[in-house]
Structure formats: C-alpha cells, structure tokens
Chains A and B, each alone.
Chain A
Amino acid sequence: MPLGSEVLRLDRVGKRYPMGDVIVDALVDASFTLNEGEAVAILGPSGSGKSTLMHLLGFLDSPSSGEILFEGRPVAVLTESQRARIRAEKIGFVFQAFNLLPRLSVRANVALPLAYHGSPPADAADRVSRALELVGMTNRAHHKPGELSGGQRQRVAIARALVNEPRILLADEPTGNLDTKTAAAILDLFKELNRLGRTIVVVTHSPEIAANFRRQLHVRDGRVTEGGSA
C-alpha cells in the first residue's frame, strides 16, 4: 500500500445512543479521510466523543448513520469474520481502559492477537518478547495484570497492540497513566513506528503531546473538526 493512499474514510458518520427519553449524540456527521502513513492526534474535552470515534475506526462498533470505508470498501458490507480478520492483522488497538484479560499472564495477554492471526508467524515467541521489550515490560512478563500498576498495564496494552505489527495503530489515551519520562519514551516509539510507515491515531488531552503529530482532529460535542497545531 503506497504511502498517502486512503486507508479509512468516514462519510457523515454519526453515533447516537438512545437512553430512554434522552438521546445522546456521541458523534455527529463526522467526515474525514485517514491516509497511509499519517500520524494523527485527536483532541477534545472529556465526553466529547473521542473514544466513540476510535471504536468506529477500529470496527468495534457500528455507526448509527453515515458510512465508514476501509481501503475504499464499506465496512458495513464486510462479514463479522472479515472484520475480525482485519482487526487481527491490520489494526492494533490500545483501549483507554486497557482491557487486559485478568486471568492470563502479561505474556499471554500480549500473545493473544497472534492466536487469531490468519497465518501466525513462526517467530511468535520472539515477537511477544520484542513487543514487551519495546514498552519496557520484559521483567513483568509472568505477572498477572492485577499485579501491575496502571501505567504498567497501559504499556502491556500497547505491547499487545503492536505484536501483530499492524499497519494502523489506534491508541485511546495511551499515555494517560504514564509519567512524563515513560510517556516520552512511548511517544518516541510511536514516532519511530510512524517513520517506518505505520498509520497512527492517538487520542490525547495534552496539547504538548498532540504537537508531536503532523495532523490534529478536534472533537467537541460529537463534532469533528480539522485543526492545525492546537
């Protein structure tokens, strides 16, 4: 896939949560295109719809209106299995809430996406080790998530998103729980990955972090606007 070609496109995408009498419009008419090799920061106040938008980008949720296209194909027409396949092989997702499996060790958590890869790489074990090394969690490989600090869990979640070497990395506040030094290291990792051609979308509250990304999207009350430097 050549650099600059279209990866994801949103066409007037909306997400509406009917909550009894109240209707929450978490996302309204979001339209933008994400190209191969881009590095994007998503900014916005709490509750503005950033996570909602990320879930839609990772096919974890379906829009209430509008259309999402992946490599030019509408996601809605893909089968559940096809979407799972793309998630497994092309998209790495870092959840705001980490979402690690509590009963599995750190290593097993990181290895999880490899089990669902269509053609699991022969060097699966090495890849897990490398991913753990990238986030500096090698010494905690055999711990359970419950035995880790918030920041450590966050790093495990990042390692899991990287283990399949996905072309697209979607990270929902990946540095929220990290100290400045570790956050900087993770940011450097993302920048390096982007330099190698990966598409990266990162949600952040911090304008300083956002400043590291060439493109910024602002979300306010569910509306997405393009912004230069914050």
Chain B
Amino acid sequence: MNRLFSGVGNGFAEIWGHKLRSLLTVSCVMLGVASMVLTTGFMEGFFKNWEDSLQDQGGVEKIFVTAQGVKERQEPFAAVSPGLTLADARALRALVPQIGVISPEIDAARPRLARKGKTFEGRRGARVMGVTNAILEINRYEVATGRAFSELDLADDSEVILIGSKIRETLFAPGEEPLGAFIDFNNRPFRVIGVLRKYERLWGDYNTLDWKNEICFVPVTTMATKIQRSDRLSFLNFKAVDISLLREAVDAGANVLAQQHRGIIDFSVRTNEEQLASFASTKASFVIGGSAIAGVSLLVSGIGIMNLMLASINERVREIGIRKAVGATPFNIFSQFVAEAVTLSLLGGTAGVAVAVGLIKVLATTLPPGSTPLLSPSAFVVGFFFSVAAGVMAGIYPAIQAAKLDPIEALRYE
C-alpha cells in the first residue's frame, strides 16, 4: 500500500516536473473522450429525433388497414364485398379483444375550407378527415382549446369541426375567438368546437410537423352521411392493447375483416414494424460506424499517451537507475509509471467530458432543434472508462520496460 502510495506521489511530482509533456498527454485523452462523447451525442440526438417521429405516427403498436385492389383471381367476385366500412370498425371492436383503440377515418376527397371570403390553401391544401376521438389518441393530437367530439356529435352526425392551428391562423384574425364560430366545409357550415395544439419540430427553418397543423377533423358519421354520402372508410387504424399482442391483433383483425368482406381480400393490414426494423438496422450500422470513429480517436489518444510515456522513459533512464540503486523494486518503478498514466488519463478524461458537455450545450443553442446532440450518460461512462483504460494500457507497456532495466545499465545511459 505504502509502496503504491509512494509510486503515486512520485507520479504527481513527475507530472508537475514536466508540465508541457503532461499537458500534451492530458490533451490527447481529452480529445479522445470529447470526440467520443460528441459522436455518441450526435448519434443519440439523431435517433431520438427519428424515434419521436415514429411515435408521432402512432408508435409501434399501431396497425394500419387500407383499402386495396383485390387479387386477379378474386376480381369477378369483388363486388360482393361491402368494402372497408364503419361496420368493420364495430366488428373489430366486438370480436378482437387484443385491439385497444380503433380509429375509422374518412379522408375528404377535395375539401374546401372557407370563412368570410378567406380560404385555406396551405402547403398541400387543407386536409379534412372524418374521425372519432380515437385518432387523437392514436396519432397524438391534443385539443388545445375547446373540446373533442362527444357521443352526441357522432350519434347525431353533428356539423362540428376541430381545426388545426394553421387553419385557425389562416381563417381567423389574431385574437379572434374561433370557438363557436362557423366555417364552411364544402359549402356546409360547421361549428368550430376545438382548436388543436400547435406542433413544431424544426429542421432548419422547416417545421417537420406542419402536416399536423394543417388538418381538420369532423365526426366520421357526419363525413359519411353528409359529405361523402357513403360509409366507406379511407383508413381503419387500430392499436394493439400491448406491443406483445401486436401479431395476434394483426392476425385476428385480418381474419375478422376477411369474414366481414365475405372472403374478398380488398384490404391490407400493415404495421410500423418495417419502419421499426429499418430504424433498428440503421441505428445498428450507425452505432458500429460511430463506435469505429470513437474507437479510432481513443486509439489515437492512446498512442499519444504511449508515445509520451516512452519518450519520458528515455529521458528518465538515469532516474530509473538511481531509484533502483537506492532500493526501488521493479514494482515500485512500475507503479510509479502506472500512477502517472492513470493520473494523466483521469485528468484528461475529466477535461474531455467537461469540453464535450460545454460543446453540446453551445451546439444545443446554435443548431436547429432537430439536429442537436444529446448529453448521453452512457457516452460519458464509456468515453471516460475507455480513455482511462487507454491511458493505463498505454502506461503499462512503458512501465514494464522501465521496470526491467538493470540499474547500472540505466546509470551508464547518457
């Protein structure tokens, strides 16, 4: 213990004795750790962003049913199927316990929104959908002011409408109260009962969530009877009660729908799994690539430390000889060098983490929100651990070399 302590003490004295060399070593480790933490931070930020957008589309438990053309051999009988209708939603609700929320949706064909001579154009034009409150839950919409649909709205085919924030901004003057006001949807007056939250995730200047702001909802029943004049659904989305029941929900749902459609497969059932799989595989390849970059930077810093340690040995051969001559064992010499390497690595590692935190904080305020790196605790732990390990490993080789020297050989060294 005491021997180790004296080694550590000597290590400190040595670090102080060679300020420039120590500074270089610390810088090597610092750069290694900082680049490791930054690389990981950027990766994590990127994936967090992606994962969020997956969630905004309903998350992994979401199942999409869309109408699609039948296979060739079923073509002669296609007409016997009633198609995707509200009745399907009721059947799924009644027959498949693995299904949680069900959202029947009718996308209005060519919606026109107008109020007091103003019309909504938007980036892609307005989108008006006949829905139930389920869409709020599945696609994560929030009513900011006003209310969602009531049972009565749906039962009575009420002409009420929930509007997105962009619609409100366009059709209403700032400060004008939208609740209770009427807007024309395909020349029918609809009473505004709620305004949706404003969604924003910037990618540069571009709001990647604008599509959520350019949308309006009316009761699906109203849409079926008064606008579309048929209860054909555009989409029928539902969520499994739990992610573990996803497959079962998909299979059972498909069976019920096939039954409803008299065996005609004029629909497709899809999940977010493919997206998730591509997310996972992209993430895996990024993690490998990022780790390689981080690994190389750590390796470079390790080589830097090793180089400095070896240089310091050549410079200190006489010192090693003297220490051995007055009784230092190989272990004493060894522990002195390791202590030095550990101290420098720890210093460098701490500095590296500090630099990385600082950079990430600065970048977070200067970069657009979509591309900011994240402070990842695991990156700190890994970066710190590896830098210290690299430093120690780099210190151990020269330490063994130093410990092996014969005292008089070292003393003769010029």
Contacts and interface: CB of A to CB of B under 8 A. Distances in A.
A85 interface: yes
A84 interface: yes
A112 B323 contact: yes
B127 interface: no
Interface in B278-328: 318-319, 321-328
Contacts of B9: 115
Interface stretch (B92-100, B118-126, B384-392, B406-414): B406-414
A198 interface: no
A124 to B, nearest CB: 11
A151 interface: no
- Of the four ranges (under 10, 10 to 19, 20 to 34, 35 or more), the interface on chain A belongs to 20 to 34
Contacts of A104: 13
Contact of A84 (B13, B321, B327): B327
Contact of A85 (B10, B322, B329, B407): B329
Contact of B17 (A103, A115, A160): A103
B329 A60 contact: no
A58 interface: yes
Contact of A87 (B6, B10, B327, B330): B327
B331 interface: yes
B332 interface: yes
B329 A99 contact: no
Interface in B222-254: none
B2 interface: yes
A55 B328 contact: no
A184 interface: no
Contact of A116 (B319, B329, B408): B329
Given A61-B406, A61-B408, A99-B321, A112 B17 contact: no
Nearest to B3: A116
B407 A116 contact: no
Contacts of A103: 13, 17
B332 to A, nearest CB: 6
Given A55-B408, A60-B411, A116-B332, A101 B327 contact: no
Most central of B318, B322, B326 by chain A CB within 10 Å: B326
B326 A87 contact: yes
B408 to A, nearest CB: 4
Given A55-B408, A60-B407, A116-B6, A99 B322 contact: yes
Given A80-B330, A81-B329, A99 B323 contact: no
A88 interface: yes
Interface string B192-212: 000000000000000000000
Nearest to B410: A60
A15 B255 CA distance: 97
Contacts of A197: none
A101 B325 contact: no
Interface in A73-122: 80-81, 84-85, 87-89, 93, 95, 99-101, 103-104, 112-113, 115-117, 120
Nearest to B7: A115
A142 B411 CA distance: 25
Contacts of A80: 329-330
Contacts of B10: 115
Given A60-B411, A81-B331, A99 B406 contact: no
B193 to A, nearest CB: 82
A55 B270 CA distance: 86
Given A60-B407, A116-B6, A101 B322 contact: yes
Interface in A50-79: 55, 58, 60-62
Interface string A13-47: 00000000000000000000000000000000000
A88 B321 CA distance: 13
B404 to A, nearest CB: 9
A31 to B, nearest CB: 22
A164 B319 CA distance: 19
A105 to B, nearest CB: 11
Given A99-B321, A99-B322, A99-B411, A89 B327 contact: yes
Given A116-B6, A120-B2, A84 B324 contact: yes
Contacts of B3: 116
Contacts of A113: 326-327
Given A99-B321, A101-B319, A103-B17, A88 B408 contact: no
User: Could you say which of A84, A88, A113 has the most chain B C-beta atoms within 10 Å of its C-beta?
Assistant: A84
Contacts of B329: 80-81, 84-85, 116
Interface in B310-366: 318-319, 321-332
Contact of B328 (A84, A120, A160): A84
B413 to A, nearest CB: 12
A120 B3 CA distance: 10
A169 B6 CA distance: 25
A84 B330 contact: yes
A38 to B, nearest CB: 22
A85 B327 contact: yes
A160 to B, nearest CB: 7
Contact of A115 (B6, B324, B407): B6
The 10 A-B residue pairs with the shortest CB-CB distance in the complex, in nearest-first order: A88-B327, A116-B327, A84-B329, A115-B6, A113-B326, A61-B408, A81-B329, A87-B327, A60-B408, A60-B407
17 contacts: A60-B408, A60-B411, A62-B406, A84-B327, A84-B329, A84-B330, A85-B327, A85-B329, A87-B326, A88-B327, A99-B318, A99-B321, A101-B319, A101-B323, A103-B13, A113-B327, A116-B332
Interface of A: 55, 58, 60-62, 80-81, 84-85, 87-89, 93, 95, 99-101, 103-104, 112-113, 115-117, 120, 160, 164
Given A81-B331, A93-B326, A95-B325, 11 more contacts: A58-B325, A60-B407, A84-B327, A85-B327, A87-B326, A89-B327, A99-B322, A99-B411, A103-B13, A116-B6, A116-B323
